[in-house]
Structure 1
Amino acid sequence: MAEASDPAVIVRACGPDDIPAVQAIYAQAVLTGRASFELDPPDLPEMRRRHAGLVEAGFPYLAALRDGELLGYAYAGPYRARPAYRGTVENSVYVDPARHGRGVGRLLLGGLIAAAEERGFRQMVAVIGDSANLASIRLHAALGFGHAGILRAVGWKHGQWLDTVLMQRALGAGDAAPPDPR
């Protein structure tokens, strides 16, 4: 049975006490993966600062847990800093590698979409590291994201050039309404 169908898996707001586990998952992703284009994992104080900054600015930051163990996390942040982009968010989803392929990412991304809609955002953009990251591309497509483009060879990591895949999904009223003024 997939963990995502396990009623013991809960998705909730990620709190400060979750950040050590978030930092461990992200550090492994930075060191061994291609989803993040960071080269050195941020330390715990930096991860705490990033979390607090997003939450204080009103962006959703979620954690998936089972029996108190953090399985993964997801958050939305500003797509770009300029004010005209205020209705658009960029998402990030990271799952403990031992939990890949069990539906945790789908639960997190689905929850993140709902939380971003509740906050009045109108578009969500996924900037997926590595065009070979088919699991992430398929996850986003399954939850309504459309292919928006590929930026070829824009990142150098693990001794090779990597692409980024851009995918986009409307939230709430999408482009049929202005962004929420909050």
Structure 2
Amino acid sequence: MLEEEYQPRRTLPRHLQKTEAPEAPFEFALRETTAADLPHIREIYNYYVANSTVTFDEDAMTLAEWRDKFEYLTKLGMPFIVAVSPSGQILGYALVAPWKQKRAYRFTVENSIYLGPAATGKGLGRVLLAELIARSKQAGLKEMIAVIADQGADASLALHQQFGFHEIGRMGRVGFKFERWLGIVMLQLSLK
């Protein structure tokens, strides 16, 4: 085809063009965790146990272990929330637990946030962390600690830093999972 024979492609008027349906908005609600949520929470957590180094647990947690943890946190009045889809599916959860067992640490907690694999990358972690911080303040807690793996958890590190957590220390080679050594990064946020 000669250059002079080339004619640019014509485009249809906008009203006749195919339009891709917009992606449905990612909808969810946050609420307190109930005992009925625990099987779903267990499945989310155990996914990370089996497939990642964001938790150093190597053995899946049982439902009985989750029930014990739930009862313990409820007894202490610790925030434990879930994100739920409009259809009732648990998309993720967030909780705080005592940093240490000694009484003097009673106002200091460690946070945990886990999302179902289909709920990642949609901003849900940010919403859960914001709510967890707000509820922890309401509960009278004063300090929040995040203990994050030094490999494979860059998004978690960045998220915590965006909320004002600052690094307070690192420990190298303190965990061994998937045939490799792992360290942790510790961050802290004062709940004022």
Matches within 5 A, 1:31-70: 31-67=50-86, 68-70=88-90
C-alpha distance in structure 1 between counterparts of 2:62 and 2:146, whole Å: 24
Matches within 5 A, 1:73-88: 73-88=93-108
Identity of aligned residues (%): 36
Opposite residue 85 of structure 1, the aligned amino acid is Y
Q: Does 1:117 align with 2:137?
A: yes
Alignment CA distance shift 1:2-1:33 (3 Å): farther
From 33, 37, 52, the equivalent of 1:14 is: 33
Aligned to 2:65, the other structure's residue is in SS state helix
From 91, 96, 107, the equivalent of 2:116 is: 96
Q: CA deviation at 1:129?
A: 2.2
Tell me the TM-score normalised to structure 1 length.
Answer: 0.88
Q: Deviations over 1:74-97 (max 9, x none)?
A: 100100111221111100000011
Structure 2: gaps of 5 or more residues: 1-21
Counterpart in 2 of 1:145?
A: 165
Counterpart in 1 of 2:189?
A: 169
Q: Deviations over 1:85-143 (max 9, x none)?
A: 11111000000112111111111111110111001111100011234310100111111
Residue pair 1:131, 1:165 contacting (<8 A) in 2 also:
no
Stretches (4+) displaced over 4 A: none
Aligned to 2:93, the other structure's residue is in SS state strand
Bigger relative CO (Cα 8 Å, ≥ 6 apart)? 1
Opposite residue 46 of structure 1, the aligned amino acid is E
Aligned to 1:41, the other structure's residue is in SS state coil
From 5, 11, 25, the equivalent of 2:44 is: 25
State the aligned residue count: 170
Tell me the TM-score normalised to structure 2 length.
Answer: 0.84
CA-atom RMSD, angstroms?
Answer: 1.7
C-alpha distance in structure 2 between counterparts of 1:49 and 1:84, whole Å: 23
Residue pair 2:169, 2:187 contacting (<8 A) in 1 also:
yes
Alignment CA distance shift 1:24-1:54 (3 Å): same
Structure 1: gaps of 5 or more residues: 173-182
Aligned to 2:152, the other structure's residue is in SS state coil
